[in-house]
Structure 1
Amino acid sequence: MQIITSKEYNKYRKSNTCLAIGAFDGLHKGHQLIINEAIKEASENNYPAAVLSFHPHPLEIIPGNPPPPSIVSRRQKISILQEMGVDYYFEQEFNQEFAALRAEEFINEILIGKIRINTVVVGDDFRFAHKNEGNVEILKEMGSLHGYQTKIISQLHASDDRISSTRIRNLLKHGKIKKAKKLLGRPYQMCGKVVHGKKIGRKLGFPTANLKLETNYALPPEGVYAAQVKFDGREYIAAANLGYNPTFNNQDISFEVYILDFEDDLYDKRVCVDIIEFIRDEKDFNTKEELIAQMEQDVLYTRKLLC
């Protein structure tokens, strides 16, 4: 998959592009439905399959509400799109200038003038351009004038409710990991670089990898989780702890993983962690011995669950 930023649109030489457009801030099953339709249309007609999305999140630029926590990082987003079979990813820089574009300007200057669309695929709630004035009706009207197709995809529902990134964030916030996985179509994953911590786990006999997360993730409740760790094309099972380690009076939240049957050095490596199942709440232990005994139980449970 080729990544083309908005500063490089003029380098794109293809035509008849089948383009899915959206924030795609969760790449959940509803988003996947839209993107897969563009891939299907492209495959049937031997056209390029492309996605146009935005970076940073529009709410980081538009005054008002703060941006929501992330379900996927930019790097994860690119990786998932590549795995799905997208040929080109157009990453539109969302800045004040872009936010000021009117609907017809966006269609004429970018979709038609630079990407040269044949087909555009969007969700039924898609809004765009200055003050969200653009909608699916304007896309269809302009398509009739300029000769491109517009495909509107009705969003998926689960349990009689619309699949949305907001819904997934709420599920994660309340610890409903399995329900979030069902709507995502994959385990919830957080990635980051392994950095040096206080090495408390090592002293207790459970050396952990301390992750500096690569984006402001939507966090599940504090506690211990059974997890799968991925790096360098390999996969391991792990017990992950999200929280403050109250036994040691930590002031900052941390995300640490104890990888079972693993002894290599991971410092400075990028690691991704699939959150599989909640094990227990974080607890303040009276002694280190109590903590070690509990950690042994956490590891046994994780091994039984995931091995």
Structure 2
Amino acid sequence: MQVPFLGSAAIASGELTPAALRRWYRPIFRNVYVPVRHQVDLWDRLKGLMLAAPDAVVTGVAASAVHGAKWVDADTPIEVISSARPQSGLIRRRETLHPDEITVLSGVRVATVPRTAFDLARHLPRDRAVARLDALMGARRFRMDEVHSLVERHPGSRGLRRLRIALPLVDGGAESPRETRLRLLFIDAGLPAPTTQVVVRDELNRYIRRIDMVWEEYKVGAEYDGAQHLSDRTTYANDVKVARVLRRLGWHVVHVIREDRPADIVTEARNTLLTRGWIPE
């Protein structure tokens, strides 16, 4: 028996009795079941949705995961454009969707990449929207004009003001939502927008480091240091050696950790940029 499955179909075919269904299986959507001990992931829920509401089209955060975006939790609410009845775990949106804005991936009806970007930018607060759009852009490149063409196609859609704010901030170079938030912190503080994922080489053109974000003109960079920098001795030792080379090459890298105060991060970056010739507008 495939998982997930329709409970009514399993009973009608004689594979299960109603008592066995209740005892050994649990619903994830109305009439859609998995074994009691089955660890449900996002794909289970998406496939279950296709059984529960075959006309539904997945969009938003879950759609970005279908297109390959990272950092989407298994239990994230699934946004759907559908006429089906509301139920737990779904965010139903009654919106216009044209046939060329729908594709099918691994059996899941899902909004195309540009339409997914269009919906993310409209329905999420700015920082979350940009982080999700960065992740989508990192997985599947899309053009801004493709998204803007949907604005013209759906001129009365909810959230267009949010979209116009979020789209110019998208940068597919972010390798985590924390990096996106750090980049937005600098931009909001009035610093120049940094360039993401820049490779630094030494005088002999040898690879030294790919820095999360940099102001290359001023040889200033910023990196978000995760837990592995402290828990992995090899990573830590390599970081120390790389930092020495970067200093010799004239680079100043702002190392950011979770415990840092945003104001302190901005102050270090701003002061370093100022000492290296940046003139605020």
Q: Calculate the TM-score normalised by the size of structure 2.
A: 0.28
The structure that is strand-richer by fraction is 1
Q: Identify the structure with the greater helix proportion.
A: 2
Larger Rg: 2
